[in-house]
Amino acid sequence: MGHVNMVEILLKANADPNLIDEEYGTVLHTAANNRYQNIVEILLKANADPNLIGGKYGFPLQAAATRGHAKIAEILLQAKADPNIIGGIYGTALQAAATTETQVLVEILLQANAEPNLTGGKYGFPLQAAAASRHVKIVEILLQANADPNLIGGMYGTALQAAAVREAPAIVQVDPNLIGGEYGTALHAAAHWGRQSVVEILLQANADPNLTGGEYGGALEAAQRRGHHAIVECLLKAQGISQPHWQKRRKITNE
């Protein structure tokens, strides 16, 4: 519950609820992140500003969303918290919510006109966050809300690349050949992490095995360098793949 009585005593003594601490933000940030609903309500009645930036989550709404606190998010929205303000490690409240399994929270934010295609934060977009967190139902909800599956941003670049890394290729109507993020392409990401079933799905969806990007330059090089021999064989059978130099040397040696 938090120290409700202590909070009330301090507010009566004119404690300022909008003072900002560099590490934690305001007291409203802290209360929202720790599920202290009573204190959140008391602070808002004492004119705590729900749109002050501070702390690692940026804003109180993001702080609540990060922990999947749907009811507190709803209270903050009723107090005019801006669902599209950007700040903190997850950028938007919707991106923060997408990392959790709290479907109702995502729906509350969308009903409050949270924009699913705003960029910022660790994953770039809410769809990438949901894909990276393997929350298939939230991916579906975001797509229904017109989240663009082909936007590029964040640590994985595309939502499909995030899904490939996490072995959760649940996103439809996506260009498998978009380039961006840590691994370059979704195929490269899947090959890097040894996700053979994902590699096969991507190839069936016309992923280009010759695109370059990421640490090893391409999907085949990633699979070969990481020791994923079954994926190497799978990629070598892919239509139109360029034969790597090390494969050419092997054939000459065998002859």
Tell me: the pLDDT tens digits for 55-114?
A: 999 999 999 999 999 999 999 999 999 999 999 999 999 999 999 989 999 999 999 999
Backbone torsion region of residue 88, taken as left when φ is above 0, otherwise alpha when ψ lies between -120 and 50, otherwise beta: left
Asked if residue 228 is part of any domain, the answer here is yes
Same domain, 77 and 160: no
Domain boundary among 85, 118, 138: 85
CB contact at 8 A, 113 and 153: no
CB contact at 8 A, 46 and 17: yes
DSSP H helices in 115-212 = 126-132, 136-144, 159-165, 186-192, 196-204
Separation of CA 154 from chain center: 8
**What CATH code is carried by the domain that includes residue 47?**
1.25.40.20
Asked if residue 120 is part of any domain, the answer here is no
Same domain, 80 and 154: no
What pLDDT is recorded for position 170? 53
Asked if residue 137 is part of any domain, the answer here is no
pLDDT in tens, 114-164: 999 999 999 999 999 999 998 999 999 999 999 999 999 999 999 999 988
End-to-end CA gap in the chain: 76
Answer yes or no: is pLDDT of 171 > 80.
Answer: no
- Pick from 167, 206, 207, 159: nearest CA to 190: 167
Dig out the tokens for 120 from the structure: 């910022």
Q: Find where tokens 């999947």 sit.
A: 68
| 29-33, 156-160, 181-185 — most confident range | 29-33
Answer yes or no: is pLDDT of 20 > 90.
Answer: yes
Same domain, 154 and 245: yes
Number of domains present in the structure of the chain: 2
Same domain, 162 and 242: yes
Asked if residue 10 is part of any domain, the answer here is yes
Computed over every residue of the chain, the mean pLDDT equals: 90
pTM: predicted TM-score of the whole model, two decimal places: 0.82
Domain boundary among 39, 68, 85: 85
Same domain, 155 and 233: yes
In order, the DSSP letters of 13-29 are: TT--TT--BTTTB-HHH
Asked if residue 12 is part of any domain, the answer here is yes
Asked if residue 101 is part of any domain, the answer here is no
Domain boundary among 57, 85, 113: 85
Asked if residue 125 is part of any domain, the answer here is no
Q: Find where tokens 């064989």 sit.
A: 233
Asked if residue 183 is part of any domain, the answer here is yes
**Range of 43's domain?**
1-85
